[in-house]
Amino acid sequence: MQTVSENKSFGGIQGVYSHASDACGCDMTFGLFLPEQAAEGPVPVLWYLSGLTCTHENAMVKAGAQAWAAEAGIALVFPDTSPRGEGVADDEAYDLGKGAGFYVNATEKPWAPHFRMWDYVTEELPNIITANFAIAEDRQAITGHSMGGHGALTMAMRLPGRFRSVSAFAPIAHPSQSDWGRKQLAAYLGADESLWAPHDSTLLMKRLGFDGPVLIDQGSKDQFLELLKPEALAQAMMERRQNGTFRMQPGYDHSYFFVSSFMHDHIAFHAEALYGN
């Protein structure tokens, strides 16, 4: 692992690190904020998964999360959204290929050799983080925006016991029934739609639910509402009697202005779960 940069931030350290990834078969970069409490011992961690076209840097710079994480004594991990580099397959469209990994393990050509973001985020990167930094492995939570909200919800529900809480900002909530999902899942996983179901948070909510609290924020003026399909997830949460809150925020769009406006709420929500018994 190599240190790309480290900057003092709200009493803690905002670092950027790179490493050779076995899962993705290329070099990967991630951001990690450690609050000052990490100097005394392991701290809880909140994973933040970003959306389409993003890298590790977008949320790290735009979400305004470090101030609230420092106050709560929580570390923040900002993974990249896809493999990168020469030899990694890509597409001319913004919503497929680099920057659009969709947090799945691709099985189809030309994506399969590198696009293994599920294994990277759920296995390889957590092992690197806990081996090299003062992170409490038994106190983890996860959140994300858009495609990252999709990833956060699917990981939380499919890995019971891993995360104490899950939240999402404008998640792609029903990708198997949306153009933000059908295109990518078909490309990465093939035409058999039964293989898509484990990566659809609405279907997972109906089948599995989450063994902890859930918080979803969605802007009412989000320009991508028809692609996100939040009503499907909200209905699934109601039908399951899921312990959770779904909030439609009047006037907000899909941007980081929306994310940063409610970041404090989300970190406070996760802090309560992370520091609870």
**E strands present in 134-188:** 135-144, 166-169
Asked if 105 and 219 touch (Cβ cutoff 8 Å), the reply is no
The alpha carbon of residue 136 and the mean position of all alpha carbons in its chain are separated, in whole angstroms, by: 19
Q: Would residue 146 show up in a list of annotated catalytic residues for this protein?
A: yes
As beta bridge partners, residue 168 has 216
Q: Would residue 174 show up in a list of annotated catalytic residues for this protein?
A: no
Q: Please give the DSSP secondary-structure letter assigned to residue 249.
A: E
Among the options 146, 176, 178, 201, which is catalytic? Answer: 146
Distance between CA atoms of residues 89 and 165, nearest Å: 34
Among the options 199, 254, 266, 270, which is catalytic? Answer: 254
Distance between CA atoms of residues 170 and 30, nearest Å: 22
Q: Would residue 9 show up in a list of annotated catalytic residues for this protein?
A: no
Q: How many other β-carbons are positioned within 10 Å of the β-carbon of residue 77?
A: 23
Among the options 174, 222, 266, 270, which is catalytic? Answer: 222
Active site residues: 146, 222, 254
